[in-house]
Amino acid sequence: MAILEVKGLKKTYAARLGGDKVHALTGVSFSVEQGEFVAIMGESGSGKTTLLNIVASFDKPTGGDVLLEGRSILQIPEDRLAAFRREKLGFVFQDFNLLDTFTLRDNIFLPLVLAGKNHVEMARRLTPLADALGIADILGKFPYEVSGGQKQRAAVARALITDPKLLMADEPTGALDSRAATALMQQFERLNREGQTILMVTHSAIAASYAGRVLFIKDGQVFQQIYRAGRDRQKMQQEIADTLLLLSGGGQG
């Protein structure tokens, strides 16, 4: 069953002072099945971040539709959007977006607090998650006291604590060193094995090689997609690199 369906998504930005229009997306369609790990790749300016923002309901498309569990997210009224994001989606950002005013524990609790959950329930949910992500003993520290990798794992815990249908990640390894990046991707792989659906935007071939399927976006459209289909990760990485080369070399400009 498709958990996410993106249908003919278009996004046009009017340039300032009414000049030329910028077409960020010209018609993107794809779907993500329950339990899939999908990576979206493309060069800077290819429209991948715009795509993620629309799926995350941060932004509205000019045309097309986005269905989550068969329901259009574009129909959700403004005042329900925040609660919708909180309940159905989890986010991991490139720059972590942890709040310096909170300890890691409270950062992770934030969406649950906003949802009005009881603190006993919150603690009950946190324990297995913190153990799995290896941050159990630094929960009392503040974001400025821990490393980038630890920050990103805390951000992952924050995204997962609401038990979201879809985990969305925007360049999650972008600000991490290679060891931390590898560790994070192994976490994602494991989460996916346990049934978590993941949609990740990245331009790192290594990061994308952990995904089950990679979509390539070029000039606002899905250009190609490749499946890992049980292949070795090294082989997958090689094919991604080849496709990227094709993408930048053989394009129409």
Partner 1 sequence: MRRFLYGRLALSNLIKNRRLTLPYLLACAGTTMMLYSVVEIALNKGMLHLPGSAFVQSLMVMGQLIVSVFAVIVLFYTNGFLIKGRMRELGLYAVLGMEKRHIAQVLALETLFSGLAGVGLGLLAGMLFGKLLFLLLLRMVGKTAALPFQISLPAIVQTCVVFVVAFTLILVSNLRAVGKARPMELLQSAKAGEREPKTSWFAAILGLLSLGGGYGLALWVKSPIEAIGIFFVAVLLVILGTHLLFRAGSIALLKLLRASKSYYYKPDHFISVSGMIYRMRKNATGLANICILCTMVLVAVSTTVSLYLGVEKSLRAQFPRSVELYLYDQGPLGSVRLLAEDTARDHSVAVDQYAQGEMSRMYADLQGDTLDYDGVAATVQRCYFMPMEAYETLGGERQELQEDEVLLFRNVGAYGQDHVVIETEAFRVKEELNSFPIAQKEMQSVENTMFLVFADETAMERAFCGRDFERFIYVGFDLKGSEEDAAAFSSDFYERCQADEAIQATLISSDSVYAQRETWIATNGGFLFLGLFLGALFMLSMVLIIYYKQVSEGLEDSERFIIMQKVGMSRREVQRAINSQVVTVFFLPLAVAVLHTFVAFPVLSKMLALFFINDLWHTAFCMLGTIAAFSVLYVIAYFLTARVYYRLVTR
Which spans of this chain sit near partner 1 (rule: CB under 8 A)? 58, 79, 81-83, 85-87, 91, 93, 97-102, 106, 109-111, 113-119, 122, 142, 144, 158, 162
Running DSSP on this structure, what letter comes out for residue 174? Answer: T
Cβ 121 to partner 1 shortest distance, Å: 10
Cβ 125 to partner 1 shortest distance, Å: 13
Length of the chain: 253
Which C-beta is closer to partner 1: that of 127 or that of 224?
127
Q: Which token pair is 176?
A: 């991490």
Cβ 123 to partner 1 shortest distance, Å: 9
d(C-alpha 106, C-alpha 142), whole Å: 9
Which C-beta is closer to partner 1: that of 82 or that of 245?
82
> Taking each helix axis from N to C terminus, what angle separates 104-114 and 78-88, rounded to the nearest 10 degrees?
130
Cβ 175 to partner 1 shortest distance, Å: 15
Cβ 139 to partner 1 shortest distance, Å: 14
d(C-alpha 3, C-alpha 22), whole Å: 30
Which C-beta is closer to partner 1: that of 51 or that of 215?
51
Q: Which token pair is 211?
A: 């995904």
Q: Where are the beta strands (DSSP E) in the chain?
A: 2-14, 21-33, 37-41, 63-68, 71-72, 89-92, 166-170, 197-201, 213-218, 221-227
3-state secondary structure of 139: coil
Which C-beta is closer to partner 1: that of 91 or that of 210?
91
Which C-beta is closer to partner 1: that of 143 or that of 149?
143
Which C-beta is closer to partner 1: that of 197 or that of 209?
197
Cβ 4 to partner 1 shortest distance, Å: 18
Cβ 195 to partner 1 shortest distance, Å: 22
Which C-beta is closer to partner 1: that of 75 or that of 101?
101
